[in-house]
């Protein structure tokens, strides 16, 4: 096999109608400025389920880690064999947002400025049945191989297993980054976290790393609250499904904070109607953040903003890959982020139906699809 050849890869393909299948795609050799990555593992999150109804066919997946298999012209800083984490908000490094240090808002990747050129590779990159096929977030990590711009990958330390590293690329980055980069939680601050799935538990760990004095987990499931305590929550509040239950949770959180409310509240449920709920938990002048990606309709009472509350919808935890991914990896290696406990179950690609069912049932904190070992292919 030479790096000048296209490669065949098994991949998960969504049809745009809510279904997916496993089939073979063809992944091109890298062109200038590109790298081809052999995926070792890909995490699953609810966005992957949402992608089943995006315009298809589409190669699924956006939380990936693997090994660089070949590189294109001009890529001298990423040798073949480098272990890498993929970044779904790919910075170009030269648009106004990237220059301002806001790579997650890259105007090239987001398609804001057509003058910056295509946000995907120019020559097709992946084909299915002879035709070009799209890839989720221009990555398509539920595939044995993917072809991306070099800006989409960040080297990972050898000591961090890639089946753990892969989940840093979305859920962990979103949760921890929303605490550290977006809310800028300080030592002794109080924090409430609504929803204790993968993102919520990452928020809790980020708050612990930041030195928050009180970390209050709010969830409707007792098992989720038990997990939250294991990851660093100092207090737990169980909540029901209706608005009266939510108000009781608000009252309980206020009692835990001397009647003030918390300094920072994070919504990590993914439930559209709860998008503005964190405003009810924060004190005057506090910060409410919606970090789950909920994007449907939700009602709001303008009084919830009183007085001087901030409401943020941070994208990807303000990710700057060159700063954040090495930092997350260090925190994982020193135990401040417990990736081993977060990866509840590992699956093969053929077990994706079961993995998706477990995702929807809430059985896992994080499920991971594995494609093979980290050892070089012959």
DSSP per-residue codes, 209-242 = HHT-SEEEEEES-HHHHHHHHHHT-SEEEE--SS
- Rounded distance, CA 263 to CA 281, Å? 9
Alpha-carbon gap, residue 204 to 199, rounded angstroms: 9
The residue among 311, 315, 233 whose CA lies nearest residue 265 is 311
- Angle formed at CA 295 by CA 100 and CA 87, multiple of 5 degrees: 45
pLDDT band at 55 (very low <50, low <70, confident <90, very high): very high
Q: b or e along 190-227 (b: 16 or more beta carbons within 10 Å of the residue's beta carbon)? A: bbbbbbbbbbbbbbbbbbbbbebebbbbbbbeeebbeb
Omega prior to 63 cis, within 30 of 0: no
- Residue-averaged pLDDT of the chain: 91
Cα dihedral 231/237/242/244 (nearest 10):
-160
Q: Distance (Å, rounded) from C-alpha 343 to C-alpha 92?
A: 31
Of residues 302 and 291, more confidently modeled: 291
The pLDDT of residue 124: 52
Q: Which two tokens stand for residue 264?
A: 């920072």
What is the mean pLDDT of the segment spanning 46-64? 94
Mean pLDDT of 139-152: 95
Q: 359, exposed or middle or buried, with CB in 10 Å at 0-12, 13-18, 19+?
A: buried
Identify the CATH assignment for 7-169+338-370 out of 1.10.760.10, 2.40.10.10, 3.40.640.10, 3.90.180.10. 3.90.180.10
Q: Which residues pair with 84 in a beta bridge?
A: 66, 155
First to last CA, the chain: 9
Chain mean position to CA 52: 17
Run of H or E including 155: strand 153-155
**What is the predicted pLDDT for the residue at 4?**
56
Cα separation, 136 vs 146, in Å, equals 11
pLDDT tier at 301, thresholds 50, 70, 90: confident
Domain ranges of the chain: 7-169+338-370, 171-316
Average pLDDT over residues 35-55: 95
| Element holding 132 (H helix, E strand) | strand 131-132
Residue 141 DSSP one-character state = -
Apex 99 CA angle, 118 and 319, nearest 5: 80
pLDDT tens figures, 315-370: 999 999 999 999 999 999 999 999 999 999 999 999 999 999 999 999 999 999 99
Q: Using pLDDT thresholds of 50, 70 and 90, give the confidence band for residue 241.
A: confident
At 18, is the pLDDT very low, low, confident or very high (cuts 50, 70, 90)? very high
Confidence of residue 126 (pLDDT cuts 50, 70, 90): very high
Using CA atoms, how far residue 198 sits from 46, 84, 104, 174, in Å, is 10, 21, 20, 10
- What does CATH list as the number for 171-316? 3.40.50.720
pLDDT confidence band for 236 (50 / 70 / 90): very high
The pTM of this model reads: 0.93
Structure tokens at 343: 């990866």
CA atoms within 13 A on the CB side of 202: 31
């Amino acid at each position: 096999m030479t790096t000048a050849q296209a490669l065949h890869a098994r991949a998960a393909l969504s049809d745009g109608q809510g279904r997916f299948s496993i089939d073979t795609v063809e992944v091109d050799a890298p062109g200038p400025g590109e790298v081809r990555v052999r995926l070792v593992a890909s995490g699953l999150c609810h966005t992957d389920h949402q992608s089943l109804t995006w315009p298809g066919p589409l190669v699924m997946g956006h939380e990936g880690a693997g090994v660089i298999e070949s590189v294109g012209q001009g890529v001298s800083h990423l040798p073949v064999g480098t272990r890498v984490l993929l970044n779904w908000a790919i910075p170009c490094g030269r648009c106004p947002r990237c220059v301002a240090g806001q790579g997650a808002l890259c105007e090239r990747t987001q398609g804001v400025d057509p003058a910056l050129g295509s946000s995907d590779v120019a020559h097709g990159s992946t084909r299915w049945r002879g035709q070009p096929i799209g890839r989720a977030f221009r990555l398509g990590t539920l595939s044995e191989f993917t072809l991306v711009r070099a800006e989409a990958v960040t080297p990972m330390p050898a000591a961090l297993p890639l089946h753990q590293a892969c989940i840093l690329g979305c859920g962990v980055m979103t949760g921890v980054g929303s605490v550290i980069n977006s809310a800028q939680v300080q030592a002794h601050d109080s924090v409430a976290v609504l929803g204790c799935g993968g993102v919520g538990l990452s928020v809790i760990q980020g708050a612990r790393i930041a030195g928050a004095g009180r970390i209050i987990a709010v969830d409707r499931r007792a098992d989720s609250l038990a997990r939250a305590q294991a990851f660093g929550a100092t207090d737990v509040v169980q909540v029901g499904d209706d608005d009266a239950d939510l108000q009781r949770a608000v009252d309980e959180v206020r009692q835990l904070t001397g009647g003030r409310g918390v300094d920072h509240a994070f919504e990590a449920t993914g439930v559209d109607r709860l998008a503005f709920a964190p405003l009810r938990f924060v004190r005057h002048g506090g910060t409410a953040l919606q970090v789950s990606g909920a994007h449907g309709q939700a009602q709001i009472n303008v009084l919830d903003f009183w007085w001087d509350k901030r409401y943020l919808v941070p994208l990807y935890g303000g990710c700057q890959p060159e700063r954040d991914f090495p930092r997350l990896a260090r925190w994982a290696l020193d135990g401040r982020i417990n990736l081993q406990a977060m990866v509840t179950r590992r699956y093969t690609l053929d077990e994706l139906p079961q993995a998706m069912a477990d995702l929807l049932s809430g059985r896992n904190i994080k499920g991971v699809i594995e494609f093979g070992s980290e050892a070089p292919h012959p």
